Amino acid sequence: MPGALDGLVVIDFTSHLSGPYCAMILADQGADVVKVERPGCGDDTRQWGPPWLAGHDGGESAYFLSANRNKRSITVDIGTDPGRRVIQELAATADVLLENFRVGTLARHGLAPADLLERNPRLVVCSISAYGQRGERAAEPGYDAMIQASGGLMSITGAADEEGGSPQKVGVAIADIMAGMYATTAILAALQARARTGRGQHIDVPLYDSQVAWLANQNMNFLVGGQVPGRLGTAHPNLVPYQALETRDGSLMLAVGNDRQFAALAECLGKEALASDARFARNRDRIANRAALIGIIADILRTETTGYWLERLAKAGIPAGPINDIGEVLTNAYAQERELVRQMQNTNGDSVPTVANPVSFADTPVHYERAPPLLGEHTDEVLREWLGYSAERIAGLRDDSAI
């Protein structure tokens, strides 16, 4: 059964995480995604190990494997005239070209979005960069951690100062991932616009602007309330009780979202009077008296085990959950029921685990057809299929070190 994007032709001219993650989503949904890499070394993340597939240096790094399934890989050197012509010809046949080079790099090689769109007016070109394609910071480089820091996320992540905390980054490259998600939706929107107008366009997705945009309610807390949000550890700035709390043998995450749920929690804890206490009856009251309420709840939760409380809270319809490590998440019964981990096989015969795409389509399912590719393994195949190159022409490009 074809995927939702079956027939869409995508050039993934990206490395690291933001672009590859975007391209992988498109590939999962059926697009023919060709990853263009540098001859000899490829995407930097191929070397970002350990750990390595098959347990040895020289294999594919786990990092690379996380964002490159369902793609084909070709190697092209755009520093050569023949290599540049290959990219120009590929772009002339494609629907989408995704790139995350330093701003100006492609232009220096005659591959600027305007140049590509002149040759193929239906092309959608999506550029991901640190600070966007225009402006005084456009030429600056940027990696995820510095964007998390400068874009505000680290200022609200970590325990509060009075608890001995300091600014922390998120444990995955979330600024990269979210920029990739914004890029995915932008590409799909541009394709829908093309269906109406017949024209492609250039999309500009900055990591920094994306990071700022998805601070969501914390942005509005400042813009409306005038107070700069700070770090609260696991606690929520707008809801109480909504944080991790200790039990007799561990911890759990409690997430009370409204006054009705709080009343149910008070009953579950054997403290029904809390729900009518003027200090705690409404969410605004609970925020004003956060410390007092959390102290009461924490003392009660410490009297029983995590399992005991999770069972009681679930029966009462109160959102709460265990604080699982990743090993538990990927091996527990829910992971098996939902098939969160799939197995693929690469052309070396290695079994490659992958975490499933979370979206289920009723009629156009996600496919797991290609393990993350070996470097350049599809170069000849793509040049034959997309451009009709002969074996002799491909051999000549290889002799010229263009591929």
Is 90 exceeded by the pLDDT of residue 1? no
Answer with the one of 323, 356, 385 that is the final residue of a domain. 323
Tell me, yes or no, whether 207 lies in a domain.
Answer: yes
Indicate if 181 and 68 belong to the same structural domain. yes
Q: For the chain, how many structural domains are there in total? A: 2
Q: Give the whole-angstrom CA distance, residue 280 versus residue 377.
A: 63
CA dist., res. 81 & res. 128, Å (int) = 25
Same domain, yes or no, for 47 and 195? Answer: yes
Let me know if residue 228 belongs to a domain.
no
Instruction: Give tens-digit pLDDT for 90-116.
Output: 999 999 999 999 999 999 999 999 999
Listed residues 289, 323, 357: the one ending a domain: 323
Same-domain pairing of 284 and 167 = no
| Same domain for 371 and 291 | no
Instruction: Give the C-alpha separation, 307 to 252, whole Å.
Output: 9
> Does residue 156 sit in the same domain as residue 288?
no
Q: In terms of domains, do 54 and 130 share one?
A: yes
Alpha-carbon distance of 141 to 135, in angstroms, equals 13
Q: Which pLDDT band holds residue 399 (cuts at 50, 70, 90)?
A: very high
Is 184 a domain residue? Answer: yes
Distance between CA 132 and CA 274 in Å, rounded?
51
Report whether 320 contacts 251 (CB < 8 A). no
Residue 93: give the domain boundaries: 9-213+339-399
Same domain, 149 and 74: yes
156 and 26: one domain? yes
Residue 89 lies in a domain: yes
Please give the Cα distance from 161 to 155 (Å, whole number).
11
| Residue 225, in any domain of the structure | no
Residues near 116 by Cβ (< 8 Å), separated by ≥ 6? 88, 91, 97, 123, 125
Each residue of 133-156: pLDDT tens digit?
999 999 999 899 999 999 999 999
- The yes-or-no verdict on residue 342 having pLDDT over 70 is yes
| Residue 223 lies inside a defined structural domain of this protein | no
Amino acid 57: pLDDT? 65
pLDDT of 258 over the 80 cut: yes
pLDDT score at 59 = 72
Do 146 and 19 belong together in one domain?
yes
Q: Which residues contact 54 (CB under 8 A, 6 or more apart)?
A: 350
| CATH at 343 | 3.40.50.10540
- Amino acid, single-letter form, for residue 20: P
Nearest Cα to Cα of residue 72 among 347, 309, 275:
347
Q: Is residue 1 part of a domain?
A: no
Per-residue pLDDT band for 185 (boundaries 50, 70, 90) equals very high
DSSP state letters, 90-156: HHHH-SEEEE-PPTTHHHHTT--HHHHHHH-TT-EEEEEESS-SSSTTTT----HHHHHHHTTTGGG
What confidence score (pLDDT) does residue 242 get?
Answer: 98
Residue 2 lies in a domain: no
Residue 255's SS3 state is: strand
Q: 265, 297, 323 — which closes off a domain?
A: 323
- Grade residue 58 by pLDDT with cuts at 50, 70 and 90: low
Give 56's pLDDT tier (boundaries 50, 70, 90).
low
Amino acid at 321: G
3-state secondary structure of 67: coil
CA-to-CA distance for 92 and 96, rounded, in angstroms?
10
Say yes or no: 126 and 169 in one domain: yes
Q: Are residues 147 and 43 part of one domain?
A: yes
Question: Can you give the CATH number for the domain in which 267 is found?
Answer: 3.30.1540.10
- Residues taking part in catalysis: 176
Residues 202 and 256 in one domain: no
